[in-house]
Structure 1
Amino acid sequence: DGGVFKVGSILSEKLNSLGVGVEHDTRSHEPHDSEAYRRSRRTAVKLLQTNPSAIIDLHRDGVPDPDFYTGEIYGVPVSKIRLVVGRQNPNMKANYDFAKRLKGHLDDKYPGLVKGIFMGKGDYNQDLSPRAILIEAGTHTITRERAQRGVAHFAEALPPVLGISAGPSTFKQGAQGTGGDMAALLFVVIAFILGFAIYLVVSTGSVEGAIQKLKEFVTVEWSNFLGKRKE
């Protein structure tokens, strides 16, 4: 059972577990003819409306020999992954760079998982995004379980390559802390200005007197500042 949709579900579930949101589209674009990519393009264009960080087009290769993709990762049987980049699209260089970064990360973590980067003659709708990639999750003659293990490993490369924090959430505590500190600082500054204004009104007996006092204060302080600068 090739089960490309079931393999895709594992990829989606693994990414979700890493804190990466996934829009997993399972509509069929059969038959596998010359118009298949035209049909799938409509789906890709629709997905682009969600402003994704990347587009992953998952396939099972038509190579009949299952040994072509057979591999092991730390003694566990898997299907190797092949990355495919289309030569006939304006994003070819960016797509290729994206593929190289994915392969580089996986070569370090799971040596042998990526079979290579294949430069195909089509565009595979990769002109739609500089981070579009087609992956062959083994051949249709290799077991689905092997393919699922392979894509689960592949998923681990996406967060670091895309710059997404892996974990149950992409929320960053540091960002919240900075915002909270700035809000607290702003509150302190506003409170100080308000308190100083009330003090001036009370001490002078009127708003006009407070304004005049403030002008005198600024004039004196500015003169002192300039005098110190000249020294």
Structure 2
Amino acid sequence: MKKNMQIWTVIVFALFLFPVIIQFIPEESKISNTKIIKENALIVYASNVVEEEVEPVVPTEVSAGKVLLYYTHSHEAYEPMTKAADGKVAVSHHTENIMKMGEKLKNQLTINGLEAEAIEVDIMKEMLKNRIPYARAYKEIRPHVKKRLAEKEYDLIIDIHRDAVGPELTTLVHEGQRYAKVAFVVGTDHAGYKQNEQLTKQLKLQMEKRIPGITRNVISKGGAGVDGKYNQDLHPKIILIELGGIGNNEEELNRTIGVIAEAVKELVEQGEGTEK
């Protein structure tokens, strides 16, 4: 009985002192768990990391590299993305299109220290709204590209498209990760096409250094039945990329966009795209 009384006395005494003792615990100890949770929530974004709705981190130092993006066929969409958005499979869409992926590329270029711009979305949306025929789109976008190039000099100008072929040709599995493969188009019906072609091959090389097999071919087009210029005659630094195909999903595209941004950064820094 006496032993039981001693135990209860100790318990009551401890309960009495607990509110007093806790006041002397350092604040750092109280918040340590919260701090750990917040620190673990930080995002590391690289070419092999897929993260949706990531706010672009603007670097403190921006390189001299300037990149312009535009979308001749702004309506081009990806079937898995349209199905996820509204349950319908489509290759043309008002939101789940190449412009959405282009905005992600612009953000990644900025994160990589480049000054990235895109021709105004309003212009692209107007072209989409007016349902410009596929073959006439290059003519319609041309004055907008020409105007922007007259206003500023760029180290690289990218016309972003989506290829019409299926996922069996446009998907790469590398070290367990799936990527959307990239093809390139060079119009040969103008005198300066060799410069566009050389720059295109340099970008392809930089991408392959990072993820072998992530690119397809550099497709030369000229002669009857094709555009033959693709507005690349406006500037020797214009390249045309086909970002994946109709069957690639957003996760695969995101990974490839990270690779493109890293490759563009190195291309510009090495001066491959800065010769006037």
TM-score, scaled relative to structure 2: 0.56
Gaps of 5+ in 2: 1-80, 82-95, 223-227, 272-276
Corresponding position of 2:203: 102
Structure 1 residue 119, shift from structure 2 partner? 1.0
Q: What are the superposed Cα offsets for residues 133-192 of structure 1, whole Å, 9 maximum, x if unpaired?
A: 000001123213312221221111112212279xxxxxxxxxxxxxxxxxxxxxxxxxxx
1:1-231 pair list within 5 angstroms? 1=81, 3-25=97-119, 26=121, 27-28=123-124, 29-30=127-128, 31-48=132-149, 49-63=151-165, 65-121=166-222, 122-163=228-269
Aligned AA for 2:99? Answer: F
Task: Count matched residues.
Answer: 164
Corresponding position of 2:7: none
Q: What are the superposed Cα offsets for residues 58-82 of structure 1, whole Å, 9 maximum, x if unpaired?
A: 001122x221101123321110011
State the alpha-carbon separation in 2 of the partners of residues 145 and 70 from structure 1: 12
**Rg larger in 1 or in 2?**
1
- What value does the CA root-mean-square deviation take over the aligned residues? 1.8
Corresponding position of 1:222: none
Q: What are the superposed Cα offsets for residues 163-222 of structure 1, whole Å, 9 maximum, x if unpaired?
A: 279xxxxxxxxxxxxxxxxxxxxxxxxxxxxxxxxxxxxxxxxxxxxxxxxxxxxxxxxx
Gaps of 5+ in 1: 166-231
What secondary structure, in the 3-state scheme, does the structure 1 residue paired with 2:213 have? coil
Structure 1 residue 22, shift from structure 2 partner? 0.9
Contact 2:210 2:259 in 1 (8 A): no
State the alpha-carbon separation in 2 of the partners of residues 32 and 144 from structure 1: 26
Corresponding position of 2:91: none
What secondary structure, in the 3-state scheme, does the structure 2 residue paired with 1:123 have? coil
Q: Which runs of 4+ in 1 moved over 6 A?
A: none
Contact 2:183 2:219 in 1 (8 A): yes
What secondary structure, in the 3-state scheme, does the structure 2 residue paired with 1:156 have? helix
Structure 1 residue 16, shift from structure 2 partner? 0.2
Contact 1:79 1:137 in 2 (8 A): yes
State the alpha-carbon separation in 1 of the partners of residues 175 and 103 from structure 2: 23
Structure 1 residue 41, shift from structure 2 partner? 0.8
Contact 1:20 1:164 in 2 (8 A): no
TM-score, scaled relative to structure 1: 0.66
What secondary structure, in the 3-state scheme, does the structure 2 residue paired with 1:112 have? coil
State the alpha-carbon separation in 2 of the partners of residues 78 and 107 from structure 1: 12
What secondary structure, in the 3-state scheme, does the structure 1 residue paired with 2:172 have? strand
Structure 1 residue 51, shift from structure 2 partner? 1.2
Corresponding position of 1:225: none
What secondary structure, in the 3-state scheme, does the structure 2 residue paired with 1:159 have? helix
Structure 1 residue 19, shift from structure 2 partner? 0.8
State the alpha-carbon separation in 2 of the partners of residues 145 and 44 from structure 1: 30
Contact 2:186 2:196 in 1 (8 A): yes
State the alpha-carbon separation in 1 of the partners of residues 257 and 219 from structure 2: 17
State the alpha-carbon separation in 2 of the partners of residues 119 and 158 from structure 1: 21
Distance 1:66 1:12, change over 3 A: same
What secondary structure, in the 3-state scheme, does the structure 2 residue paired with 1:34 have? helix
State the alpha-carbon separation in 1 of the partners of residues 218 and 180 from structure 2: 15
Q: What fraction of aligned residue pairs are identical, expressed as a percent?
A: 30
